[in-house]
Amino acid sequence: MADQGDGDPKGAEFSRPWEADAADEAGPGDDSPADDEAPAVDWEAMTEGGGAVGLTPEDYAAATTHEYRGLAEDVSKAAEKDWKWQAVAAEVPGVESGLVGLGDVSGGESLSEEDFEAVEQAAVSDLTVRVASALVIFGMFLGSLLLGGWWFTGLVILVMVVAGGEFYANVRARGYQPLALFGLLGLILVGVGAHNWGIPAIAGWVAAVSLVTILFFSLTQRRRPLENASLTILGIAWVSMLAFAISVARGPHPVAYVLFVVLLVGLCDIGAYFVGHTFGKRKLAPVVSPKKTVEGLVGGLVVAAVAAAILTTFPAWETISLVRGLAAAAVVGIVSPFGDLAESMVKRSIGVKDMGSVLPGHGGMLDRIDGFLFVVPAVYFLFRAFGLL
């Protein structure tokens, strides 16, 4: 046996592991130890030998495989067994309990629990504002309707003036110069005329303001007269359609008839929203309003019909009757969505999301009455045809 001096790894105590591997592969008659009795390898002693050891990278790789003999067979056997899945809880450094966001596992920033709670509270606060605002608006509407006369007319005029002001303000912000003063004065005259003289006064005042607007732009030097005159006339002609509600309120059953129309429009919108959100696939007007669907239109129509069938069973609406109520529901279900589409077209043309913010949590006044602008005139003429007005 060679001398076991310093740096000599060839002694019996430091036999090379690949020599042991070769011995393992020998026949049963050899005196080499079995796999589980192979001499332990002193890796530290081997590395201390430095260059005298004579290890090459291939030698080292061959030596380390001795530790993993039989691993593939064990893995194969484990894969054949049936395992029962269990939930395992483990703490992850840097991730707090209670809230795990995408940033926690991606390395980016994520909301803390305090920030998340702040977002939730803001959402709840916004919902509270929306509900409170809706209750106040409905209370004002119902109160003026019950008082009747100029109270209701005054509320309708106020709504028209605010909505018209939103329209003119938005188009002016886009560089146009409509005659907002002419349009707003015209809306006031339309409301007063509807109260005193009925439907002919609405058409008469709209025509008069349109004529004055055209004459003004013809006699003065104004930039882009065609666009500005058209926008002035559009504002009064569009918003003044709400004045038909004043004529409905001047009929024999003002509270019942006006409330009937308002309830149908509101329930139609709710039905269209939920049905369209749940089942909507076919776009009703993809260019103007991508979120509106044919399924939503049908859903709103069905909900309006069901609501009309139920409401006409109450004494307040017995004079309308089931057949007339269903006809009114059909008009509301078809016309109301197109009122929304008309406003969407205008907003898309001038590049705004909401016409205003006068109603907390609901946007602008024009955003709330867009469906009524088409529905109220249609229901008025329907009720006139049925002899209800």
352 shares its domain with 277: yes
265 shares its domain with 372: yes
Residue 25 lies in a domain: yes
pLDDT at 104: 44
124 shares its domain with 136: yes
29 shares its domain with 120: no
Note down pLDDT in tens along the chain; length 389 residues. 444 444 444 444 444 444 444 444 444 444 444 444 445 555 555 555 544 455 565 665 555 555 556 666 776 676 666 666 555 555 555 544 444 444 444 444 555 555 555 555 555 556 677 778 778 888 899 999 999 999 999 999 999 999 999 999 999 999 999 999 999 999 999 999 999 999 999 999 999 999 999 999 999 888 899 999 999 999 999 999 999 999 999 989 999 999 999 999 999 999 999 999 999 889 988 888 888 899 999 999 999 999 999 999 999 999 999 999 999 999 999 999 999 999 999 998 888 888 877 777 667 899 889 999 999 999 999 999 999 99
Residue 156 lies in a domain: yes
Residue 4 lies in a domain: no
Residue 389 lies in a domain: yes
Q: Which domain holds residue 331?
A: 252-389
230 shares its domain with 282: no
pLDDT at 380: 97
Per the structure, how many domains does the chain have? 4
265 shares its domain with 239: no
pLDDT at 88: 52
Residue 60 lies in a domain: no
122 shares its domain with 155: no
pLDDT at 255: 95
d(CA 60, CA 20): 14
237 shares its domain with 355: no
Q: Where are the alpha helices (DSSP H) in the chain?
A: 17-24, 43-48, 57-64, 71-80, 102-106, 113-147, 150-173, 180-197, 199-219, 225-239, 244-249, 254-279, 294-311, 322-350, 365-386
Contacts of 197 (CB under 8 A, 6+ apart): none
Domain end call among 123, 147, 171: 147
221 shares its domain with 290: no
d(CA 297, CA 293): 6
- Could you tell me if residue 175 is left (phi over 0), alpha (psi between -120 and 50 degrees) or otherwise beta? left
Residue 3 lies in a domain: no
The number of angstroms, rounded, from the C-alpha of 269 to the middle of its chain's C-alpha atoms is: 16
257 shares its domain with 388: yes
Residue 197 lies in a domain: yes
Residue 87 lies in a domain: no
pLDDT at 353: 84
125 shares its domain with 186: no
276 shares its domain with 299: yes
